[in-house]
Amino acid sequence: MTTQSRSDIAGSTDAVILVGGKGTRLRPLTVNTPKPMLPTAGVPFLKHLLARIQAAGIQHVVLGTSFKAEVFEEYFGNGEDMGLEIEYVVEDQPLGTGGGIRNVASKLRADTVMVFNGDVLGGAELGPILEAHHRNDADATLHLVRVPDARAFGCVPTDADGRVLEFLEKTEDPPTDQINAGCYVFRRSVIEEIPARRVVSVERETFPKLLEEGRRVFGHVDNAYWRDMGTPGDFVRGSSDLVRGIAPSPLLEGKTGEALVDESAGVRDGALLLGGTVIGRGTEIGAGCRLDDVVVFDGVTIEPGAVIEDSIIAAGARIGANARIRGAVIGEGAVIGARCELLDGARVWPGVEIPDSGIRFSSDA
């Protein structure tokens, strides 16, 4: 068992965040912006994770980037503003999760490496996961979360000591409620064993190989908040959960409630903002509007009487008076006419203009 303190363990740990995906399930929001940089509860999604890493005492972070890689460095720089040291490694071609981890190996300094999937909104305390890894003298430790229904996920059963027994694909009769939460701790030497410059899945290749070799692979199981932010519905709910304090973030301590409104935004009398709604910088909300569980980016205009639910409105969009929008994604700079209805999965692409209308749209526009 380790005699190191939690702060000593974190201080001697590198963090790796994989942020190279194109976020295709969130289009059109990700046409011009990488998914981890989409505004979420007032800041880029990735910033919440970096704040959790910093709060845990980890200082050195390596971002594995690919799609629009320059956006990350332009925003975060060397990490000094967040009390971190951030470095960047660009993935020239898709390498999978394992290949992406291997691709950053040259930047690693510590013998313990904590890896995060940049798509996941998590609430677990990082210190106990690192402590478990050291206590078990593990080669690899997986953060596992319990979910009410594991049928939609791969399952990871463990024995009484927490050792991982196997990795199972989705099944209608899962033997455990424990699923892979997309956060791992490795010995650096294990990362260096992953084949370089080719596609490798850490879930389908790296971890099963470690088990076959009898290596020490453990699971750290808890009931922490966990959400894959890959779909519009999950993105909206994750942002809402941050605003309402259901999902924790050091950036929102003391700021949680029914809505989060940027101080530069204008909200007219009679407008109702509910369900963890977020209003971005310079946005104008007209009188009598009702927004429930909505993410509104910067510079949006929503005219009087509009009713919007469970939706995302990208930067610079304009929503006409008395429009009805539910379960939709409105792209950057799009214009939705007065009295228009967009319902149940509608996606409007950047710059598209929909004239005043009572017609219902429920597919891509």
Mean pLDDT of 162-168: 91
Q: Does 362 have pLDDT greater than 70?
A: no
Q: Which domains are assigned to the chain?
A: 6-234 (3.90.550.10), 258-361 (2.160.10.10)
pLDDT exceeds 90 at position 23? no
Q: How confident is the model at residue 363 (pLDDT cuts 50, 70, 90)?
A: low
Q: Per-residue pLDDT tens for 48-65?
A: 999 999 999 999 999 998
- Residue found by looking up tokens 């228009």 in the block: 340
- pLDDT reading at 15 higher than 50: yes
Task: Over range 142-162, report the average pLDDT.
Answer: 90
Start-end of H helices in 140-261? 188-193, 207-212, 232-243
Could you tell me the CA-to-CA distances from 178 to 35, 170, 182, 241 in Å, in that order?
26, 12, 12, 22
Question: Which pLDDT band holds residue 277 (cuts at 50, 70, 90)?
Answer: very high
Q: How many residues does the chain have?
A: 365
Mean pLDDT (whole number) for 175-183: 90
pLDDT level of residue 173 (50, 70, 90 thresholds): confident
Measured between alpha carbons, how far is residue 220 from residues 23, 131, 146, 159 in Å? 28, 10, 11, 12
- Rounded mean pLDDT, 151-177: 88
Q: What is the mean pLDDT of the chain?
A: 91
Q: Residues 288-292: what's their mean pLDDT?
A: 97
As a whole number of angstroms, the distance between CA 100 and CA 94 comes to 8
Of 47-51, 65-69, 206-210, 230-234, the least confident: 65-69
Contact (CB, 8 A) for 121 and 238:
yes
Q: Is the pLDDT of residue 221 over 90?
A: yes
**With bands split at pLDDT 50, 70 and 90, how would you rate the model's confidence at 31?**
confident
Worst-scoring range by mean pLDDT, 171-180, 270-279, 293-302, 351-360?
A: 351-360
Predicted confidence band at 245 (pLDDT cuts at 50, 70, 90)? very high
Q: Which long-range contacts (CB under 8 A, 24 or more apart) does 319-325 make?
A: 320/356, 321/286
The Cα–Cα gap between 358 and 145 comes to 45
Q: What is the pLDDT of residue 358?
A: 56
